[in-house]
């Protein structure tokens, strides 16, 4: 029997995201491409779904390496967010961590999901067209800025 359930639509999706700061005081963002499930064309602090038998921390670390070839260290929890879009019938619970970049040259490993990547300061980030979850992350980041 085939399972056609869609994460975030047929059941609540759980994701882990990373707000990553480098040694130059810039944050890593990725621009969602046409293959992304939503918020196409918008910039985000990257993340991905949490797999079965995987902690949220493990998911964040693994996704950053698998998707972008970068290594991170989790410093602290930024927040846990309900990302609900009733119009699109989409519901995710996202845990986002404050992280430090520890190695690896950023690259795009899933071109269908991501079209651009880059390092940005907070002023630059505030001028970008951001995804729903990244808007929530940025509000909390600006409140506490604990990595600066």
What are the structural domain ranges in the chain? 13-143
pLDDT in tens, 57-74: 999 999 999 999 999 999
Alpha carbon 78 to its chain centroid, in Å, reads 12
Q: What is the SS3 assignment for 134?
A: helix
| Residue of 104 and 7 predicted with greater confidence | 104
Joined tokens for residue 121 = 């300061």
- pLDDT (tens digit per residue) in 20-47: 999 999 999 999 998 888 888 999 999 9
CATH architecture of 13-143: Alpha-Beta Complex (3.90)
| Angstrom distance (rounded) from CA 31 to CA 44 | 6
pLDDT confidence of residue 38: 82
Strand bridging mode 47-49 / 71-85: unpaired
**105-112: Cβ within 8 A, 24+ apart:** 105/69, 105/70, 106/28, 106/68, 106/69, 106/70, 107/68, 107/69, 108/30, 108/67, 108/68, 109/66, 109/67, 109/68, 109/69, 110/35, 110/67, 111/33, 112/33, 112/34, 112/35
Pairing mode, strands 71-85 and 27-32: unpaired
Q: Which residue has the higher pLDDT, 65 or 132?
A: 65
- Taking residues 104-122, report their average pLDDT: 96
CA distance 98 to 72: 10
């Amino acid at each position: 029997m085939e399972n056609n359930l869609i994460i975030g639509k047929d059941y609540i999706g759980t994701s882990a995201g990373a707000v990553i700061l480098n040694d130059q005081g810039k944050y890593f963002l990725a621009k969602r491409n046409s293959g992304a499930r939503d918020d196409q064309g918008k910039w985000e602090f990257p993340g991905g779904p949490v797999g079965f038998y995987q902690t949220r921390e493990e998911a964040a670390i693994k996704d950053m390496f698998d998707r972008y070839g970068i290594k991170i260290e989790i410093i602290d929890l930024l927040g846990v967010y309900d990302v609900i879009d009733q119009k699109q019938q989409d519901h995710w619970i996202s845990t986002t961590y404050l992280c430090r970049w520890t190695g690896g040259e950023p690259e795009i490993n899933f071109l269908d999901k991501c079209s651009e990547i880059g390092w940005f300061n907070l002023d630059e980030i505030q001028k970008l067209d951001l995804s729903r979850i990244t808007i929530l992350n940025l509000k909390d980041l600006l409140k506490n800025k604990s990595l600066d």
